[in-house]
Structure 1
Amino acid sequence: MPVRSRHTTPVPTDEPVGTPRIGHGTVWLFAVATGVCVANLYYSQPLLDAIASGLRISHSAAALTVTLTQLGYAAGLITLLPLGDLLNRRRLVPVMAIGTACALAAMAAAPSAPLLLAAAVAVGLGATTAQVLVPYAADLATDAERGKVVGTVMSGLLLGILLARTVAGYLAELGGWRTVYVVAAVAMVLLAGALWFRLPAAPARTGLRYPALLASTARILREEPVLRLRAVLGALAFAVFSVLWTALTFLLSGAPYHYGDGTIGLFGLLGAAGALAASAAGRIADRGHATAATTVTSVLLALSWLPLWLGRHRLSGLLIGVVVLDLAVQGLHVTNQSQVYRLRPEARSRINSAYMTTYFIGGAIGSSLAPVAYDAGGWTAVSVLGAAFGAASAVVWAAACLTARRHRARAGAHERGPGQGADRARAAGSGGE
């Protein structure tokens, strides 16, 4: 069974155990909303060549659009996401959606690279709306169905990521890269209206003032070893993900492929396996198999780069590698979230803030290093970089498991009780079964 934190506080409810507290229609509203919100982070990835040409800047400068959007997202996760525990989320979410629409409109109208990059930071800030919605859905679910609900919502989020690239590619071919951001802004306005009328009530969960709220997020991260471990694993996984999708545009737009924006965008659909993995990972975690899921996905993060490396000349290798990598990244991500949401029910937005901030810092590092690696050594250098991040994830997880095993063996040798053994495993940060 997953190890629980000794700080866990039950959430009061008048409903019997196992009774659904969130309907299927509402779950799918959450799934669609998170997908639309998070898509704003990824529209630029298949457009980097077009942006570079349109604004007459280098590929590395164009890639800053991805990096700064992710850094803006990380900043929003620190400063905005904890508000989900402080404010009524039924009102907070639509307001954040409207703010994101304004930032997207600014990107569409930006006449120069500096203004485009400034707007990209604002888009990243607003895209944290998606991460306000995930713990919101988790709060509405019962313990027995929480992994399933989170997995479904994450499937919607992942489909948003995948379709973002495809939609962006084709819209750019039809009307140029600016059209992508015009359509995205309109979509966010429509979404804000739907959320305003359909979201369930979600009162504040804490009476802390804002500065104390932010301080408590850092304190929770410091006090929860399971959260720290899962945050590191998430950061490494998203670094792998960002290395691939940032550099892939450069590979596909040059020799030997010479694909256009629309065809490059289609590669996002290969990650549909990741969306399927998200739903399955949530169910696996509900059944108490988080350790096995983490082990398999961590290893696949590194192994996926072998077919990806072969993909520099073979399309089949590229296709297989993309599918395996996306499956591993998203399966690990949902497993991580299913574990950290068990820690402190009264602080899920702050826990998500700590986890997702670390996660997207890893992504920003990956997206910033990918074009440097590509310029320095082509696709081979990118493959080495991605495999190194993947191997680091497997090593971190193996070390955590070995540490937890030693503590359990030591506790058994001294005839310690099961409670103490669990506490020691938790202290080791295993977060496993």
Structure 2
Amino acid sequence: MVTGITRAQRLMLATVCAVAVSTIYAIQPVLAVAGTELGLSPQSLGVLIAAGQIGYFAGLILLVPLGDLMNRRRLIGAMLALTAAGAAVTAAAPNGVVAVVGLAFAGVFAVVVQVTVAYVAAVSAPGERGRNIGAVTSGVVIGILGVRVVAGLLGDTFGWRAVFALLAVLCAGLAVVTRGGLTQDVRTSGDRYTRILRSMGRLVTTDRLFLSRGLITLFVFASFGSLWSCLALPLGAQPWSLGTTEIGLFGLVGLAGALGAGRAGRWADAGHAQLITGWSLLLLAASWLLIARTGPTLVLLVVGIVLLDFAVQAVHVSSQHLLTTAHPDRAGSVIGAYMAFYSLGSALGAVSTTWAYTSWGWWASCLFGALYAMAGFAVWWSAQRWLRDRRPKINQPTFRTRYATMIPRR
């Protein structure tokens, strides 16, 4: 049912994405402080980050497909309320076990982000789908990067628990607002839940577009994770020795690039999604040449971060536009399966870049980030060649036939 979406609704849904995804990443800037208060050893701090990511991955597979069966407006409100509950449990956690449970619970229902994207794709007019997806998806990057700034400031001022208390209040408020501010999106599909789950698995083996876009996304977000999972390490070391709040402010730099990529949705609407993907992947690889330069000035690093986040967002928006256009009747399950690649890529980037940095230094982390970008470009190039080979070949006239047609018949 295509009803269109207003500017106010776009803003509301972008806010939903920003706040929901923040519940997964808010623990990173306050990790050390939270771990100490919860009684966790330095070696086990990673479980706090992993809890939200594992919950998110489970939600992508098990909950996002519900959007193809249920009224998405009600589903968005219910999932926001449950995300609020998880954030509240985390804020009040007396120990590490309870905090892990709260973070995992919030992560499971934070997949309201993907239900929101599927809702936008369903209610948007065809000529506005890319623009709307781009605007709403910008909220995801705003949440991932912006929460670093907010959490750093709140953590230093009021303590780490205040971060999750604020997120719980915001999620609960948005659950109420979306209930009355969104139009109905009643699902009419006769599919069963188990059948949809099986179809998600078949996408990988039978849908060439989905597989290529999934692999591109895996490598793109591995490159993205290579930067943001490790950036605090070189900035906190000599010669910069920046503090948590100062490092968090670099999230504002990333926001500039991510917001600039909102234009990618309009380009996708104009039929340029594939072309934008190729150029953005090359830009992503090139940005690492600047990011690798962390001295004697941070100017080149700042420019590189802007370019990287622009490229990542442009590819992400283009991929979602192509997939929701190709599968309009099951956008929820397709987006859920697609975002599983995103989750795996983020984890791959976080693990590999930390290992590379501790083994060889910042240059090695940057090399990994650039290689991930080039791997994504290789997948895109191969997919383009496959598409060209599949197009029907039109017999081109030879010189002799062209010349013969120029001779008048007697």
AA aligned to 1:174 is T
Going from structure 1 to structure 2, the CA distance change for 1:120 and 1:367 (only over 3 Å counts) comes to: farther
Going from structure 1 to structure 2, the CA distance change for 1:52 and 1:240 (only over 3 Å counts) comes to: farther
Going from structure 1 to structure 2, the CA distance change for 1:288 and 1:59 (only over 3 Å counts) comes to: farther
Contact 2:146 2:255 (C-alpha < 8 Å) held by counterparts: no
> Which residue in 2 is equivalent to 1:9?
none
Contact 1:93 1:132 (C-alpha < 8 Å) held by counterparts: yes
Once the 2 structures are TM-superposed, how far is the Cα of residue 281 of structure 1 from its aligned partner? 0.5
> Which residue in 1 is equivalent to 2:53?
70
* Distance (whole Å) between structure 2 residues aligned to residue 404 and residue 264 of structure 1: 44
TM-score, normalising length: structure 1: 0.85
Contact 2:39 2:95 (C-alpha < 8 Å) held by counterparts: no
Going from structure 1 to structure 2, the CA distance change for 1:340 and 1:196 (only over 3 Å counts) comes to: same
Contact 2:264 2:276 (C-alpha < 8 Å) held by counterparts: yes
Runs of at least 4 residues of structure 1 off by over 6 A? none
Q: What are structure 2's unaligned runs of at least 5 residues?
A: 397-410
Once the 2 structures are TM-superposed, how far is the Cα of residue 99 of structure 1 from its aligned partner? 1.1
Q: 2:28 aligns with which of 40, 45, 48?
A: 45
Aligned pair 1:311/2:294, yes or no?
Answer: yes
Contact 1:154 1:275 (C-alpha < 8 Å) held by counterparts: no
Contact 1:147 1:283 (C-alpha < 8 Å) held by counterparts: yes
Once the 2 structures are TM-superposed, how far is the Cα of residue 324 of structure 1 from its aligned partner? 1.1
> Which residue in 2 is equivalent to 1:234?
217
* Distance (whole Å) between structure 2 residues aligned to residue 334 and residue 258 of structure 1: 36
Q: 1:133 aligns with which of 112, 116, 133?
A: 116
Superposed CA offset, 1:391-428 (max 9, x none): 211121122223333444xx42778xxxxxxxxxxxxx
Taking only aligned residues, the RMSD between alpha carbons, in angstroms, comes to 2.2
* Distance (whole Å) between structure 1 residues aligned to residue 122 and residue 387 of structure 2: 29
Contact 2:280 2:312 (C-alpha < 8 Å) held by counterparts: yes
Once the 2 structures are TM-superposed, how far is the Cα of residue 161 of structure 1 from its aligned partner? 2.4
Q: Matched residue pairs, number?
A: 396
Instruction: Please show how residues 194-343 of structure 1 align to structure 2 within 5 Å.
Output: 194-311=177-294, 314-343=297-326
Contact 1:48 1:59 (C-alpha < 8 Å) held by counterparts: no
* Distance (whole Å) between structure 1 residues aligned to residue 36 and residue 243 of structure 2: 13
Q: What are structure 1's unaligned runs of at least 5 residues?
A: 1-11, 14-19, 416-433
* Distance (whole Å) between structure 2 residues aligned to residue 66 and residue 314 of structure 1: 31
> Which residue in 2 is equivalent to 1:412?
393
AA aligned to 2:223 is V
> Which residue in 1 is equivalent to 2:403?
none
> Which residue in 2 is equivalent to 1:102?
85
Q: 1:163 aligns with which of 142, 146, 150?
A: 146
Contact 1:85 1:348 (C-alpha < 8 Å) held by counterparts: yes
TM-score, normalising length: structure 2: 0.90
Bigger shift: 113-122 or 35-44?
Answer: 113-122
3-state DSSP class of the match of 2:261? helix
Going from structure 1 to structure 2, the CA distance change for 1:273 and 1:331 (only over 3 Å counts) comes to: farther
Largest Rg, 1 or 2: 2
Once the 2 structures are TM-superposed, how far is the Cα of residue 245 of structure 1 from its aligned partner? 0.8
Q: 1:92 aligns with which of 75, 81, 88?
A: 75
* Distance (whole Å) between structure 1 residues aligned to residue 368 and residue 104 of structure 2: 25
> Which residue in 2 is equivalent to 1:172?
155
Percent identity between the aligned chains? 36
AA aligned to 1:118 is V
